[in-house]
Each structure stands twice: as structure tokens, then as C-alpha cells.
Chain A
């Protein structure tokens, strides 16, 4: 096992620079998730770490060794691909053994390691099957098995769950997390799904347009997003952004209603700001802002409501069942004492 250090790494394809100086420190045994919308450079960064793309500038270290010019097979990493990249003409056992048989490892050792990996993943009965004869989840497990057999210093996952159906995705998510808790191998995991990031990561790196927007523990990102991008990206349904101004009476929305802000940032009177309000942090409060119910979406465990107040749409999620009908007015207010406030121009978080 090893730590990974990414120092001011840049990547350009021709004249187009797509990663603009990224710094990430990954501790030994940590599970780090790179998350961001498509095209943000997260997969490219992972491929640079794997050695499948060269590094235009900066340094990547695995352990204390700079690997910029080390060929992939000598980096002591294993990667799980989005489409699994299983060799279709080899059985499950041969797929997992391929890296070892290339190195002419003794047969007994290969068998021992493959059997061990198969046992960890519950693949014992499938060892003689071909990839075509497996379900999506089983293929996913074989791809992980191939990585485990190599006993690498770092696991790399490139959107490994995006080809699975929703139910299986949740199940495999738990399995990968459990696997990491058991093996404690340093893991870098790329996804565009913030729920995967939130549930699995020790540390989340939110990327956007080739830069790191914010990096930290999942709940820190949820509680204290540093800018509008992170605020909107982490959390589902996404945070509501209400435009308005700060005044002496707190926050005055553009539509003409007030919201409490707790402690207002100093010297920000009259400044245009964005008030971030998570859907799950809205409660019904008879003294609150009247809002019109536009759409009601009950999911059973909770009710998602699209509300309109002062011409701005606000999404709210209530744990209790709501009897309101579209067109009715309900009074709402934030349920947290401290509001997320962002500078409307820079998008940066305003600190009181």
C-alpha cells in the first residue's frame, strides 16, 4: 500500500488544456473519490495516474516514487474499467490470472491467489465461465477480482458502476466499500454520481473544468460547500439558489420575501448574494414565507414539492406526508440557524 501525491498536474491535448494544475494528497489506505460532471477531467486524471495518458506538466508520486515516466505495469496499480474490459475469450479464472501468467508465476501460486480473490468476491462457482455467460454485476466482480489478484498498492476505479441498473449499483457500492474496509488498499475512484461519492469516500475531490473546486470529507462538503458549484453538485435534490440582497433585516429575496441568515457577514449590506437552501432543510412554519405548491411528488418515504415564492422555484423535501394540493399556499421557513450565503458575482461562500 502507498500514498499518492498529485502535484500541480496539467494535461493538454494539443493546444487545449483540460487539466489546469491539480494538487491532491491521498493518504495510505484512503478511499478518494474524484467527482464532477462529464468533461471535468476526472477520468483523464485517473488515466494519467494509471499511466495510460502521459502527464503534460507536474508530478505524480506513488509512495515516494515519481511515476511520470514509469510504464503502467511497473506502477503497481490495478484498474477497474467502466466497461470492465474483461477478455472475452478467457474464462473468469484466466481473466483473473492473466497478469500473473504473463509474469510466468508458478501455477500453484496463481491458483491460490485466484481462489482467494474469488472467495472474497463470491465468484467460486463462476471460475470456469466466460464473461458472456455472466450478468453485469458478476462481470463487475470479476473485474475487481482481476485487480485484487494483483495485490496492487493502489486501486483505480473508472466509473465502475455506471453500466449497472439502479438496484445493482446500490448493492455493488456497498460491496466495494466493504471490500475497501477489508483490504485497506489506497483507492482512487472516479464517478459522476455524487451519491456514490458521498456514500463511499473518505475524501471527495470535486472537479470542474479541469480544476479542483473543493476537497474534503463528504459531510464537510455537504455542510460547508465553498462555492456555488460544489453547493449545487453535492446533495440530491440539489440545493436551491435564491437570488437577492443582504440588508439590515437579513436576506431580502428578489421576489420580495425575507429569510433569516443567522449572523450576516460583516460589511455586506446591499450586496447581491445567492442564498443556498437545501430542500431537506425547509420546514412548514406558520410564520414563514408563503409559497405556492406547483408540483407534488410523493415517493413514499418522503414528499418532494416544487414551490414558487416571489417568482423563484424552490424545491423542498418533507419527511411527513403532505395533504396540500397544487395551487395552495403553504408557509415555509429554513430549519437551520445558519444559512449558506454565496457572493453572487464570484460564487464564493461568504463567511460571517
Chain B
């Protein structure tokens, strides 16, 4: 063994080079970090912060299309708040957001729990569930436009064929019918996002917790109530915040389906802002309507942030 020892001749080595200033900069994490951050920051400033700032600024001016405006203080807000149409739009938006979000949450959670079970063709069913989410909004809106068509609606046709109705349903022509119809379309579109996100959340719950609960004597419902639901709250908070924000600012679906009609019954703040600013040319007033959405959105974020998101049990400190 001893005669098999490694040879001990000293290898020749190149002298170690002095570190230059550039070398030091290259390996400086803060310096590198700054440059890695620049593209993202530039993108956010250019496409998010700047338009937001511009919008807020415009809401304090009397800008119209083709004419630069002057600062007029809160005059736009005074006018908008007193406007009956705006008040209706706020009501419509709140109604639309509340009902659609609750429905999306309930159906999404139900689907997620269903998909979390061992089903045949699981992967395929999960893919199918995602379809409404990947179809462009405008396309699905057009499809719903046909489904809700006053003359050619497939729903009216089916009900008539089954003998349950004699006349067509006026889906988009009646104020409340139109409200429920757009909510239905929004729910159809929004459920997959919630279902798939909650499904991902469900899969992070260790199966041994359910086994322990089984031995502890929990029924199915008790397992949901005491284990699944509490462990899912952080994800519910995040996904519902996003869902509420997206629903509150919804534009495409309404624009294509009803364009705010009939007689403003489905006019949301987003569509009203667009119609006032771009179609009506009153940029300042439109911007004020948009800016008026910010407090609502902040409120929604605050509720989820303080009420739901971080729980004591998630924090690791002693």
C-alpha cells in the first residue's frame, strides 16, 4: 500500500493576477443586481407607472381629444360624482364584482376539490377545465353574444323545443336579464383560473394530515372544514384578490356583449370611462372615472392583505 503513494513533484503554477477594478465590479452583487433589475423596472415605469400617473394627472384637467387641457382641480370629480350615470355604473360594478366573485369562488373550489380526487382521465379533464381561460376573451364574448342572441339563442331554442317556454328569452335587452347574463359569461371565463390555482393549493396539503384526521375520527366535511379550508386560506386570499381586481376592471366582455346596455344597465366603471374618454372625447372626465376605481381596488387589496393572507401559523419565527 505505501509504495503506491501519490508522486509529490511540485506542479508549476501561473502567478495569480491582480484583481482589476472591472473584476471587482463584475463580482459585486449589488452592481450586478442593479443592472439585472433595470429592464424590468423600465418596463414597469413605462407601461404601468407612467400611464397611471398620466391618468391621474389628466383627471385634474379639462383635456379633450385634439385639445390639450388646463388644470381645473377637482371639477371633473365633482361633476362625475353628481352624475346619475356614474352612480349607476358604480352600483353595476359592485354588483357584478360581488356576485361574479362569489360564484367563481364557490364553483372554482368545488371543481378543484373534485379534480383533486383520483378520477379516470384526470389529466384530460384538467385540460378541459382550462379551456375557457385560454380562449381569448373577445372570442368567448362573441360566442356568448350568439348564445344570448334575442332570435337565435340556443338556450331559448332548447327551452322551446323541450316545451318549457313559448317565446324567446330577451337575454341582453332587459336590464336584469342582461346583468345576470354578463355575470354568467364572466363566471364561465373566470372559474378555470380559480379552480386550477386552488387545485395547486390542495396538492400542497400533505396526505398524511388527512390520514391523521381519519384516525382522529373526522368526517369528510370535518376534514374540509378543519384542515383543507384553513390550509387553503393563504391561496384563497391571493387568488380571490386577483379575481376581484380582474372582475372589477372587466372591460372586454361587457364591451362586446352589451356595450353597457340596455340603457346603461350593464355599464361598468371601466366601460363608462372608455366611452366617455375615447368615444365621447372627454379625456379629463374619463380619466376621473378611471381614477375613481383606485380606492375600491385598494380597499379590496387591503381586506385580503390584512384579513386573510398571512397567518401566525405560517410564520416560522419562535
Contacts and interface: CB of A to CB of B under 8 A. Distances in A.
Interface of A: 50-52, 72-73, 77-79, 81-83, 85, 87-90, 98-99, 102-103, 130-133, 146, 150, 326-327
Most buried by A among B206, B213, B217, B230: B217
A130 B312 contact: yes
Interface string B276-318: 0000000000000000000000000000000000011111111
Contacts of A133: 316-318
A102 B216 contact: yes
A83 B211 CA distance: 12
Most buried by A among B214, B216, B226, B312: B216
A79 B215 contact: yes
Contact of A81 (B1, B2, B211, B316): B211
B318 A85 contact: no
Nearest to B218: A102
A99 B211 contact: no
B232 to A, nearest CB: 10
B316 A85 contact: no
Given A102-B217, A102-B226, 9 more contacts: A50-B215, A51-B215, A73-B218, A79-B215, A85-B211, A87-B226, A88-B314, A98-B218, A133-B317
A326 to B, nearest CB: 6
B87 interface: no
Contacts of A131: 313
B231 interface: yes
Which label, helix, strand, loop or mixed, suits the secondary structure of the B interface? helix
Nearest to B233: A89
A154 B213 CA distance: 17
Interface in B206-238: 206, 208-209, 211-218, 222, 226-227, 230-231
A146 B211 CA distance: 14
A259 B315 CA distance: 64
B231 A73 contact: no
A99 B315 contact: no
A82 B211 CA distance: 12
Contacts of A73: 214-218
Contacts of A78: 215
A131 to B, nearest CB: 8
A328 B215 CA distance: 60
Given A98-B226, A102-B222, A89 B311 contact: yes
Contacts of B318: 133
Given A87-B227, A326-B1, A99 B316 contact: no
B310 to A, nearest CB: 12
Contact of A132 (B212, B216, B315): B315
A308 B213 CA distance: 55
A52 B218 CA distance: 14
Nearest to B209: A85
A89 B218 CA distance: 16
A88 B231 contact: yes
A133 B314 CA distance: 10
Nearest to B222: A102
Contacts of B209: 85, 87
B314 to A, nearest CB: 7
A50 B212 CA distance: 10
A89 B230 contact: yes
B79 to A, nearest CB: 50
Most buried by B among A77, A79, A103, A326: A79
A79 to B, nearest CB: 5
